[in-house]
């Protein structure tokens, strides 16, 4: 018993880390404007999971999208995969205002 007559607090579990999670302000004030950051004349491109929903899939797609924007070709095997092409097209449109072109694909 504590001095105040209450039962002491029992800690069941305590973690030294926590899952990173964005608040509503990230989705309201950052994500909608990523396209504006990526449309610039200095060839600076922002790529990371934080540019959309903080998932590792977005991190991988954003890296490919940044390379594509800077002139790299998109892998043909990914272009031929319907789901991969859809994800890349959606991310490119949201973050860069671009659309994936069949002409800019190549085998690696």
The H helix count followed by the E strand count for the chain is 5, 2
Q: Distance between CA atoms of 88 and 86, rounded to whole angstroms?
A: 6
* pLDDT score, position 18: 66
Strand ranges inside the chain, DSSP E: 74-75, 105-106
Model pLDDT, residue 68: 92
pLDDT the model gives residue 74: 93
pLDDT at 3: 60
Q: Cα–chain-centroid distance for residue 108?
A: 24
Indicate the domain borders of the chain: 24-101
* Sequential pLDDT tens for the chain (108 residues): 456 667 777 877 777 766 667 788 888 888 888 888 888 767 778 888 888 887 888 889 999 999 998 889 999 999 999 999 999 999 999 898 889 988 888 876
From 20, 96, 42, 37, select the one nearest 65 (Cα to Cα): 96
Neighbours of 51 (CB within 10 A): 23
Whether pTM exceeds 0.85 = no
């Amino acid at each position: 018993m504590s001095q105040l007559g209450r039962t002491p607090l029992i800690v069941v579990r305590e973690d030294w880390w926590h899952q990173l999670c964005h608040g509503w302000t990230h989705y309201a004030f950052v994500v909608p404007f990523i396209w504006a950051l990526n449309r610039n004349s200095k060839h600076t491109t922002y790529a990371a999971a934080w540019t959309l929903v903080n998932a590792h899939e977005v991190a991988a797609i954003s890296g490919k999208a940044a390379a594509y924007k800077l002139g790299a070709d998109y892998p043909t095997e990914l272009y031929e995969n319907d789901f991969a092409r859809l994800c890349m097209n959606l991310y490119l449109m949201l973050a860069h205002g671009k659309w994936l072109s069949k002409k800019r694909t190549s085998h690696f």
